[in-house]
Amino acid sequence: KAGVTQTPRYLIKTRGQQVTLSCSPISGHRSVSWYQQTPGQGLQFLFEYFSETQRNKGNFPGRFSGRQFSNSRSEMNVSTLELGDSALYLCASSLDVTLASPLHFGNGTRLTVT
Amino acid sequence: AQSVTQPDIHITVSEGASLELRCNYSYGATPYLFWYVQSPGQGLQLLLKYFSGDTLVQGIKGFEAEFKRSQSSFNLRKPSVHWSDAAEYFCAVGQTGANNLFFGTGTRLTVIP
């Protein structure tokens, strides 16, 4: 069974631009969560989607948004990029939202903002 | 508020030696606790989890962790470290009904031959 696939693996953007990251969950998984990983702040929860609905959102500005499609694939968008948005963005999928089903992480998208 | 503290930023052990990585959490109810490992350029892989029941949980790759409610700790252990265990280890806490985990800042493990 294929794992969580995140595309692209690397991105370089300029301040002020916007970016869209994609995540394809493991087949059959309906929950997708997004995390930001930086050396300074560590791993921080961005948001979680289940059945196309956002269930939880972390403490990030409105420039960060996401969505989930009917096939459970998810995208996150960051508008008006800032230098501090440079990070590894990790997507995780699971069967449901009970945490009894473990989170399976992708290898991430490395975003560099210049 | 939920939080996780991993007091050791970096640990170096010799191959074959035992390992203990510390994790302390703050959470109002019974926590769901996890240990993840991350190799360079990779995502996170779940090593083990604790929800309830037996406080000593076994995971993959020979790791185990012990939940101690009185100490708010969930330390990760391995009796004999292999060179391939070199990676970054993250402790995390969560609650049922939500897939948002709170992670510690991680402990980087170096294994010397």
DSSP one-letter string for B21-84: E--EEE-SSPPEEEEEEE-TT--EEEEEEE-SS-SEEE-GGG-EEEEEGGGTEEEEEESS--GG
Tell me the per-residue pLDDT of A34-70, one tens digit each, with 9 for 90 and over. 999 999 889 999 999 999 999 989 999 999 999 999 9
A97 touches B at CB < 8 Å: yes
Contact B100 A33 (CB under 8 A): yes
C-alpha distances in angstroms, B90 versus A27, A52, B11, B48? 26, 29, 13, 11
The HSE-up count of residue B100 (CA atoms within 13 Å, CB side) is 15
Contact B99 A100 (CB under 8 A): no
Tell me the per-residue pLDDT of B44-80, one tens digit each, with 9 for 90 and over. 999 999 988 889 999 999 999 999 999 999 999 999 9
A56 touches B at CB < 8 Å: yes
Cα separation, B41 vs A90, whole angstroms: 11
Nearest partner of A32 among A100, A101, A112, A96, judged by Cα: A96
Closest CB to A45 among B36, B45, B100: B100
| pLDDT range class, residue A85, cuts 50, 70, 90 | very high
